[in-house]
Structure 1
Amino acid sequence: MSVEVHATAVVEKGAVLHDGVRIGPFCHVGAMAELGAGTELISHASVTGNTRLGENCILYPHAVLGCGPQVLGVRETADSRLEIGAGSVFREYATAHTGSPKHGGLTKVGTSCFIMIGAHIAHDCVIGDNVVMANNVSLAGHIEVGDNVWFGGLAAVHQFSRIGRNAFIGGGAIVVEDVIPFGSVVGNHAKLAGLNTVGLKRRGFSKSDLHEIRSAFKAVFEGEGLFKDRLAKAAQNFADKKLAMEMINFILEGGDRPICKPA
């Protein structure tokens, strides 16, 4: 299988195109870019900077990957990098930036992610596998997103936030706090509305799994007493429950943002 490059496309010297790559009309591939086998740029798409795409990625028209961070005074260097996992799709006008060198320089997007029209992934974000970002979702810098997270359209997330795996972010939500694994948040500013039960069922979580997660959720977020006391008690009571402890440990580990709680 050979590489196909349209006559109107620009592929700079130094770019690495693996077997089966297809570059459509009016695309641009920069000198430090590497495109995995079977990856396709449909038309008018750009891959620039120190950017590596895995196998079988697809970039739709006007998607742009690998531009430098939107940080005043930061100069893009070879240490400013972007990595995209295999099978990820970036729809029209979707963007992802490289990382800032002073913070390690890497922005990373996992495998089989689906980034819809106009969505943006900023510098130094770390995105898990199978993440879906609907139209015009915006992630600020230094955000961590776990596997299987779904973002509704027009949601926005504050820099340095963490979003646990299998969470759901409602359309239009403005997220300024960390979102627990399995949680569902809505609103401006977003509040914890419960668990992402529908998403968990779709991903094959059993009834016993859901019961365990729901029990831990109630123990931490409902009932009497201070939140920190309920959390400490839950850590003891669920010490041998893997899914429950995933939620509890996420909270205990903490981050730069507070935990998103129910209204």
Structure 2
Amino acid sequence: MPVHPTAIIDSNAQVHESCEVGPYCVIGAGVVIGKDSRVGPHTVIEGPTTIGESNRISNHCSIGAPPQDLGYKGEPTKLVIGDRNFIGDYVQLSRGSNKTEHKTTTIGDDNFLMAYCHVGHDCEIGNRVIAANAVQLAGHVTVEDRVVFGGLVAIHQFARVGKLAMISGGSVTSLDVPPFTKAFGYGCAVHGLNAVGLERAGIDRAAIKRLREAYKVLFRSGTPLEQVLARLETEFSDSAEAQHWVKFFRESKRGVVRDRDAK
């Protein structure tokens, strides 16, 4: 195992023999790291934290730190990270808090978190999420698959970001951002479909066209929300994406960002 002689690895940590651990790293008790992963210099990983295979963790990261929550009293909580993630310099990933049943922060597979990103306690991050520099996710944030964040985006605690959404750099939101949309601004407003993201995800043009039709009904009809959702259920039952909108809106607890031109 190529471990630098200045690295400190607790005897109760489990680091696969194929992993690289750089200079001055500290890996604590209860940490598990899968094969072919790399941990850059000066990174600190605290347990209980489980990290999957083929992850690339850069320099000076704080992984599995205790939750930044005034109510936390040292209870055992967890951070679980999947496979093939890139974690940039100075990224901070917190463990879960004592406020949820599972007490776990979860990060999926194939995510790309650039320098200075923060993922707060109890967040749930899906797969193939891209977060540019200094994206800040407060506690209990949920991010579905294939979301793209521009730099310096800030997401309020308990907010959700839907599948294949794209949020422009510098945006701030305290509300949920709906799937398949583009959003930006302080306070955040939706600015149409994320058509490029949909195409890159393999959604065919017919499905995207159908979703555009549903978008006009959902965001620009001027009809009360529950009536709109009922209409989407019946008129767009053939669109999996439109049905995902229905589910996302109905499950919202904070409210959902609306279109800038909504009636």
Please name the residue that 2:19 is paired with: 21
Moved over 6 A (4+): none
Residue 92 of structure 1 is aligned with which of 64, 89, 92? 89
Aligned residues: 259
> Which moved further from structure 2: 233-242 or 81-90?
233-242
Contact 2:19 2:37 in 1 (8 A): yes
Please state whether the residue corresponding to 1:193 is helix, strand or coil. strand
Aligned Cα RMSD in Å?
1.2
Letter in 1 for 2:7: A
Q: In 2, distance between residues paired with 1:226 and 1:258?
A: 14
> Which moved further from structure 2: 196-205 or 107-116?
196-205
Contact 1:9 1:28 in 2 (8 A): yes
Q: In 1, distance between residues paired with 2:180 and 2:14?
A: 39
CA shift for structure 1 position 63 = 1.1
Query: Superposed, which structure 2 residues align to 1:1-263 within 5 Å?
Result: 3-78=1-76, 80-103=77-100, 104-254=102-252, 256-263=253-260
Q: In 2, distance between residues paired with 1:158 and 1:45?
A: 27
Identity %: 35
Letter in 1 for 2:233: A
CA shift for structure 1 position 230 = 2.2
Please state whether the residue corresponding to 1:52 is helix, strand or coil. strand
Please state whether the residue corresponding to 2:183 is helix, strand or coil. strand
TM-score, structure 1 as length reference: 0.95
Q: Deviations over 1:148-182 (max 9, x none)?
A: 00000000001111111111011001011111110
TM-score, structure 2 as length reference: 0.95
Q: In 2, distance between residues paired with 1:47 and 1:87?
A: 17
Contact 2:133 2:151 in 1 (8 A): yes
Q: In 2, distance between residues paired with 1:243 and 1:91?
A: 32
Unaligned runs of at least 5 residues, structure 2:
none
Contact 2:220 2:259 in 1 (8 A): no
Letter in 1 for 2:82: G
Please state whether the residue corresponding to 1:230 is helix, strand or coil. helix
